[in-house]
Structure 1
Amino acid sequence: MIEKIQKRDGRVITFVPEKITRAIFLAASAVAKEDGGEADYEMAERLTDQVTGYINSVYKRTVPSVEQVQDAVVRVLIETGHAKTSEAYILYRSERTRVRNLRTRLMKSIEEITFSDAKDSDMKRDNANIDGNTAMGTMLQYGSAVSKEYCLSQVINPKYAKMHEAGDIHIHDLDFMNMGTLTCCQIDLDKLFHGGFSTGHGFLREPQDISSYAALAAIAVQSNQNDQHGGQSIPAFDFYLAKGVAKTFRKLYINNLQKATELIAGKTTDIKDMVKRVEGLTKKKPTLDMDYEFLDALNEELKKELNISDETVKNMNTFTYKEARNETDKATYQAMEGFIHNLNTMHSRAGAQVPFSSINFGTDTSVEGRMLMKNLLLAQEAGLGNGETPIFPILIFKVKEGVNYNPGDPNYDLFQLSIRVSAKRLFPNFVFVDAPYNLQYYDPNDFTTEIATMGCRTRVFANVNGKATPVGRGNNSFTTINLPRLGIKHGVVGKKGFFDKSAFFQELDEELELVISQLMERGGIQSGKRVKNFPFLMGQGVWLESENLDWDDTLEEVVKHGTFSVGFIGLAECLVALIGEHHGESEAAQELGLEIIGYMRQKCDEATDKFKLNFTVIATPAEGLSGRFTRIDKKKYGEIRGVTDREYYTNSNHVPVYYPISAYDKINKEAPYHELTNAGHIAYVELDGDPIKNLDAFEAVVRHMKESGVGYGSINHPVDRDPICGFSGVIDDNICPKCGRDENKSSVKFDRIRRITGYLVGTLDRFNDGKAAEERERLKHNVYESQSSK
């Protein structure tokens, strides 16, 4: 009689027939449930006896394996007329194998997180904003690893899990799925600050000066990140915080007018009360752009109250305005400096990260808004305490003709300043309001209709369930399709040896349908959560219309304002696999690339109409995904030249970073995809050398982006720093140009800050292997030749 069996890991254990009985009974129960009946446990026991008899006859003097026992169960079930039960048993067996593999993978992940150094572990560098060597970073990764495996095995539909595991699709932020968090949000500071708000640990009063406006803006970003798995952005930083500048000026104007009455007029009176009276009479306030109706009325009050001459009043006015403006300007700079320092030092998510933060600005033409933007840019240019380039927030300058783009525009000087700061500090990036797909929503009298983007590239605008605006909205979730794999299966490099266009689009269509249904499943989880699960995002009314919900209400009516996005990666490799060349190499490939992404957009538009949810296409920002698909496909299909022969697939619709092409031609090739990718996109080029030495060339690239129809763009260039002497700039040949220190002869290495996917997330040693390889292979366009190559 059989007494032992061998497990998959080689261990030999006692044979327990009751386990076979239970498995047969569960399979029979599944069949009976479909037929409206019940399974018979005694029948399962009799079948087990037959299985045992068969095993004893076949494996008389050996120890059978678990797989051999399971094969015996299937054989007996089929031979005894229980074919349906055998099918259910096979499915049960397959699912058990999948869950077991998940557990094994989880234990391997935990082992790697525990015992590997971040420099040796791609997993621990999956998110470059997390230091995988710290205690809190390790704990965050433990939670992520466990949550991912739980969601794959217990939460999502098994067919979606299998597609994800196989590398056909990638479900982003899978570790947050069961929590029901949303990806990102554009925070409406006007609504949040009005009357004050709570962080859950205390109530904060409405801010009354620029310092408190800036401090509370940073706190809002930090608090919001604890309720979401993605980034936080402020869509109109200039318009929102200009109010803080105005309040500061009014306060300082009153203080300095009080001084002027004593110093110049030699008399004392309650100036604060006088100003209030005049404000009540004129319905005006003292502002940087002083209103003459208010000023005339105030002058009359001063002359009457103090019995002074017109000349004395004039001297008082000159002194008061000049001092108040200078002090306001200084206070605004300090507030912006504090804002940037806060967002690079304050922690979120159990202390493991600084907040992923972005701010959009550039179009407020008020004196207060202009002062705010000037000082924000100057604070960014100055850097952090030791001259370091700030990692966050991502500054995004809104470019708009008639506002800041041409000489004579009211904010043209700020556009010029943004060029200089970006050339030194990598930021700001540039978002282009005049791109047709952005301009169609633009109302010059309503800043909430201006495009605002997340630093990574996520764009939210059209809304099938309400007003088209980015404010108070964000992306709910997104899932990426592995385009190169479809190319391999249906193109010239595959078994067919030719491009089977019909089969390619048919399978793409099937995957799009699957991803849309998967996003809806995730949306159901998100909608079923309650306000109390997101005490800041929903409880403080940050998300659009969430202020109308009670603490225990579910979120169906607000989640519908967000977007569900279908992403893609590796269009270039897909085209090479399909027809032998990518879109940087031929117009035929470009036409096919636009047809593919256009088809994805069409399917999302159809889903939007059908389900009344905002389905959109995103040019995937592929930080964590950059190497995963490639590793899987290389193992599955081998090394294919131009497709799987590198450590990464090309980001979204970009021309491959290593392909020799001018900066201007690269922009021309990538720009048309921005109209199709309504959930987000970015165009960037890589410059070598120090662009601060050739600002005209730098500006020419930005202008070419705008004129080519790019929606969002940035210019990459080296930003290096010697932590010993403090030099910040470009360090060539590992020698500091300031102090002459040789990095190769020192244990202290240079900081080499680089941008990935729109976000700048740190130094090269924090990038995963795929992104590090992509950065190494980027074609560097000569900064001095940029204009001539146009």
Structure 2
Amino acid sequence: MKIELMNDTSLQNLTDVKVVKRDGTETPFYGYKIDLVLKELDADDKTKAAVYQELLSFMGKKTVSTIEIARAFISGLKKADQNILAQKYVNYRRQDEENFAEATDPQYKLSQLFDRNSRVVHENANKDSHVFNTQRDLEAGVVSRALGLRMLPDLVAKAHLRGDIHWHDLDYSPVTPETNCCLIDFDEMFKNGFKIGNAWVSSPRSIQTATAQMSQIIANVASLQYGGCSANRIDQLLEPYAKLNYQKHMKDAEEWIAPEKREEFARAKTKKDIYDAMQALEYEINTLYSSQGQTPFTTINFGLGTSWISREIQKAILKIRIKGLGKEHRTAIFPKLIFTLKRGLNLQPGDPNYDIKQLALECSTKRMYPDLLMYDKIKEITGSFKTPMGCRSFLQGWKDPETGKEVNSGRMNLGVVTVNLPRIALEAQGDKELFWQIFQEKMNICHTALKYRIARTKQAKPENAPLLYMYGAFGKRLKRTDSVDEVFKNSRATISLGYIGLYEVCTTFYGSNWEHNQEAHDFAVSIAKAMHELCAKWESEEGYHYSLY
């Protein structure tokens, strides 16, 4: 039932008062929260009026602490002779504090792990909790969650624990200032070389060496961030190195093979090299373990190459996946395959690569992957074609302000915070005005959380993740003394606002058959549009690309 506020005791008069949280954070005074607590306590109108009257004593003040609000609330309940409700409210606050203390206690969280708590042990389907290095990662993860909640702004940590928002990957961030997911700039690394550990790795001279280097890069990148990584246009990326194989075979053919057979010989040998190299890459990725105790979440994109070498790379990827892993021919989990469809290239019968599109469909039918991307639609929506990052999210089109060139590989995401929209709808209880009021508060919390993610990630130093920042994986080669913000700022990196439950929000307001209701449809669009506009506003003010998931 909607709560009606009495005109002479309206909390709207307190909208200019700032509430100071325990950690010093200031937020607006949200009167609806008082209403929700009173409803939870099942307070009558007389009790409500008494509480409102106590709270109105803050009128004219610039700031008020959460402790002062709690004391005024209890005082109002007692003046209304509601001592039992006052005690109930005290118990409610005490339980809230105890829950927070428990969630931020590393020793307690470790005890859950050692007790084989199913939620902790099975929190990630990619991790085998029976393996030593995975167990070590899980141990570090539960401690990091507890410490991370202590590091977060108070209102963000509590909103996460209540389920109002979700701070993703708390087992890694913010304890470590790692990035989330990325598109690795393999092209830059292959051309200029890179260093892993104590070894300097030079430019590959064959496709076999190139794929071997790829697997090493993937393993190290996966250990230096907590999200997935992707390879963009792998068929075109590897083509120059397969061409080196072809040239070597042609040179051998000139010495041993009759002139009319040399081309055939070199092509046959190169095709075998391509198949073996792509098979090795598939096996190596699936047998890798990152420092996080799991197979690196890897995505590779292909399908746009038109040369015979690029076509052979595409066909090899698909045939290897169809064949499956090992003697049992199991479906490989990684790399996640993404095949690009493009009009005039492979979409329709008669297109030059239509046969490979058909092979991709066979593979997708038998082995779940590849996913299919429409080149023309991606370009229309985002401004240019690019592969999604390992976390399956897309970068927006972006041009380097210094060169004016389109850049995709080498860019990254700094993390995600998701808002729980259905909870807002349930708390609003059919009141659209109240929905938007609660929505704005949760958006403010999400913005605070996302700004913290950016600030924390910027505290990393290039030497913390040399392969990312100093040796080209993120597209630039920073010095030890440089700021990592050089690869984040000017909207080069994304930071993401996620949302869940838009459908359920409309169900709450309009019933289960709302899809055919234009008003409900417009309401759903208005929510998504409001979030998008906030992301655009935050980007214009801060210089980081806030994206909406």
Q: TM-score per shorter chain, which class?
A: 0.7 to 0.9
Instruction: Work out whether 1:551 is the aligned partner of 2:480.
Output: yes
SS in 1 for 2:334: coil
**Aligned counterpart in structure 2 of residue 221 of structure 1, from 209, 212, 218:** 218
Deviation per residue, 1:7-61 (Å, 9 max, x gap): xxxxxxxxxxxxxxxxxxxxxxx99xxxxxxxxxxxxxxxxxxxxxxxxxxxxxx
Are 1:582 and 1:589, in contact at CA under 8 Å, matched by a contact in 2?
no
The residue number in structure 2 matching 1:377 is: 318
Give the secondary structure class of the aligned counterpart of 2:287: coil
The normalised TM-score by structure 2 is 0.78
Residues 385, 470 of structure 1: alpha-carbon distance in 2 compared, 3 angstrom cutoff: same
**2:8 aligned residue:** none
Aligned-pair distance for 1:454? 2.9
What SS does the aligned partner of 1:344 have? helix
Name the residue aligned to 1:344: 286
Question: Which letter maps to 1:555?
Answer: V
- Number of residue pairs the alignment of both structures matches: 459
Partners in 1 of 2:470 and 2:529 — Cα distance? 38
What letter is aligned with 1:439? E
TM-score, normalised with respect to structure 1: 0.55
Query: Tell me, what secondary structure is at the counterpart of 1:565?
Result: strand
Alignment of 1:286-297 (within 5 A): none
2:436 aligned partner:
505
Partner of residue 250, structure 1: 247
Shifted more, 210-219 versus 586-595: the winner is: 586-595
Range moving further from structure 2, 390-399 or 407-416: 407-416
Residue 102 of structure 2 is matched in structure 1 by 101
Q: In structure 1, how many angstroms separate the alpha carbons of the residues matched to 2:242 and 2:471?
A: 24
Q: C-alpha deviations, 1:480-517, integer Å up to 9, x for none? A: 00011011112xxx3xxxx3222212322232232122
Map 1:275-314 to 2 at 5 A: none
Q: Does 1:167 align with 2:163?
A: yes
Query: C-alpha distance in 1, partners of 2:369/2:296?
Result: 17
Decide whether aligned partners of structure 1 residues 86 and 562 sit closer, same or farther in structure 2, where only a CA change above 3 A counts.
Answer: closer
SS state of the match for residue 299, structure 2? strand
> Match of 2:494, as an amino acid?
T
1:51-90 pair list within 5 angstroms:
87=67
Structure 1 equivalent of residue 368 of structure 2:
426
| CA displacement 1:428-472 (0-9 Å, x = unmatched) | 00122211x523666xxxxxx422113542111234874554311
SS in 1 for 2:238: helix
**Residues 258-273 of structure 1 correspond to what in structure 2 (within 5 A)?**
258-260=255-257
**Greater helix share, 1 or 2?**
2
Q: Would you say 1:325 and 2:267 are equivalent positions?
A: yes
| 8 Å contact kept, 2:103–2:109 | no
TM-aligned CA distance change 1:86 to 1:145, over 3 Å: closer
Q: Is the 8 A contact 1:461 1:468 kept in 2?
A: no
Look up the match of 2:501: 570
Q: 1:85 to 1:603 in 2, by over 3 A?
A: closer
1:583 is displaced (CA, Å) by 6.0
Cα distance in 2 for residues equivalent to 1:207 and 1:111: 48
* Residues in 1 aligned to 2:354 and 2:226: alpha-carbon distance in whole angstroms: 36
Tell me, in whole angstroms, the C-alpha distance in 1 between the residues paired with 2:442 and 2:522: 22
One-letter amino acid matched to 1:231: G
1:157 matches 2:153: yes
* Counterparts of residues 390-405 of structure 1 (less than 5 Å): 390-405=332-347
Q: Give the whole-Å Cα distance in 2 for the aligned partners of 1:395 and 1:90.
A: 54
Q: Distance in 1 between matches of 2:184 and 2:411?
A: 8
The Cα of 1:123 is off from its aligned counterpart by 2.2
Alpha carbons of structure 1 residues 89 and 606: separation in structure 2 relative to 1, 3 Å = closer
Cα distance in 2 between the residues matched to 1:506 and 1:367: 59
Q: 1:450 aligns with which of 385, 405, 408?
A: 385
CA distance in 2, matches of 1:87, 1:122: 34
Q: Tell me how far 1:108 sits from its aligned partner.
A: 4.2
Cα pair 2:496 2:546 within 8 Å, conserved: yes
Greater relative contact order structure (CA < 8 Å, 6+ sep): 2
Moved over 6 A (4+): 88-91, 93-96
For 1:204, which of 201, 206, 217 is the aligned residue?
201
The question of whether the paired residues in 1 share the 8 Å contact of 2:411 and 2:487 is answered with: no
Aligned match of 1:234 in 220, 228, 231? 231
Q: Secondary structure at the match of 1:398?
A: strand
Residue of structure 2 in register with 1:62 after alignment = none
Task: Give the equivalent residue in structure 2 for 1:595.
Answer: 526
User: Does the C-alpha gap of structure 1 residues 371 and 402 become closer, same or farther in structure 2, counting only changes over 3 Å?
Assistant: same
1:107 deviation in Å? Answer: 3.9
Distance 1:534 1:404 in 2: 39
Change (3 A) 1:504 1:440: closer
Taking a change above 3 Å as real, the CA distance of residues 516 and 258 of structure 1, as seen in their structure-2 partners, is: same
Aligned-pair Cα RMSD in Å: 2.6
CA distance in 2, matches of 1:143, 1:90: 36
- Offset at residue 582 of structure 1 (A): 6.3
Displacement, 1:111?
Answer: 2.3
Letter aligned with residue 409 of structure 2: V
For 2:192, what is the secondary structure of its paired residue? Answer: coil
Residue 183 of structure 2 contacts residue 232 of structure 2 at CA under 8 Å; is this kept in 1?
Answer: yes
Cα distance, 1:518–1:257 mapped onto 2, change above 3 Å:
same
> Which one of the candidate residues 441, 447, 459 is aligned to 1:528?
459
Residue 54 of structure 2 corresponds to none
Alpha-carbon distance change, 249 to 464 in structure 1, aligned in 2, over 3 angstroms = closer
Partner of 1:635: none
Larger Rg: 1
Deviations 1:174-232 (A, max 9, x none): 22212111111101211011132111241222111111111111111111111111001
Between the aligned partners of 2:382 and 2:421, the Cα distance in structure 1 is 31
Q: What letter is aligned with 2:112?
A: E
Report the Cα offset of residue 378 of structure 1. 0.8
Q: Cα distance, 1:239 vs. partner?
A: 1.2
1:131 is displaced (CA, Å) by: 0.8
Which residue of structure 2 lines up, in the alignment, with residue 115 of structure 1?
A: 115
Question: Using a 3 Å threshold, how does the CA distance of structure 1 residues 513 and 426 change in structure 2: closer, same or farther?
Answer: same
Structure 2 CA distance for partners of 1:455 and 1:178, relative to 1, 3 Å = closer
Aligned to 2:448: 517
Letter aligned with residue 194 of structure 1 = K
Question: For 1:586 and 1:259, how far apart are their aligned partners in 2?
Answer: 75
8 Å contact kept, 1:113–1:142:
yes
Does the CA-based 8 Å contact 1:482-1:569 persist in structure 2? yes
Q: 2:542 aligns with which of 590, 611, 624?
A: 611
Q: Distance between the aligned counterparts of 2:301 and 2:513, measured in 1? A: 34
Instruction: Say which SS state the counterpart of residue 467 (structure 2) adopts.
Output: coil
Shift of 1:85: 11
Contact 1:114 1:138 survives alignment (8 Å): no
Contact 1:383–1:390 (Cα < 8 Å) also in 2: yes
Quote the Cα distance in structure 1 between the aligned partners of 2:208 and 2:226.
28
Structure 1 residues 328, 229: closer, same or farther in 2, change over 3 A?
same
Spell out, residue by residue over 1:726-750, the C-alpha distance to the aligned partner (whole angstroms, 9 max, x if none).
xxxxxxxxxxxxxxxxxxxxxxxxx
Against the structure 1 CA distance between its residues 374 and 582, is the aligned structure 2 distance closer, same or farther, given a 3 Å change threshold? farther
Letter aligned with residue 443 of structure 2: L
Q: 1:223 to 1:103 in 2, by over 3 A?
A: closer
**Residues 330 and 594 (structure 1), Cα distance of their counterparts in 2 relative to 1, 3 Å cut:** same
What one-letter code is carried by the residue in structure 1 that aligns with 2:144? S
For residues 65 and 238 of structure 2, the distance between their equivalents in structure 1, rounded to whole angstroms, comes to 67
For residues 221-272 of structure 1, give each alpha carbon's deviation from its aligned partner in whole angstroms, at most 9, with x where no partner exists. Answer: 1111111110010012111111121111111111122112xxxxxxxxxxxx
Gaps of 5+ in 2: 1-22, 25-63, 72-92
The CA deviation at 1:416 is 1.0
Q: Distance in 2 between matches of 1:369 and 1:237?
A: 9
User: Could you tell me whether the CA contact under 8 Å between 2:420 and 2:499 is conserved in 1?
Assistant: yes
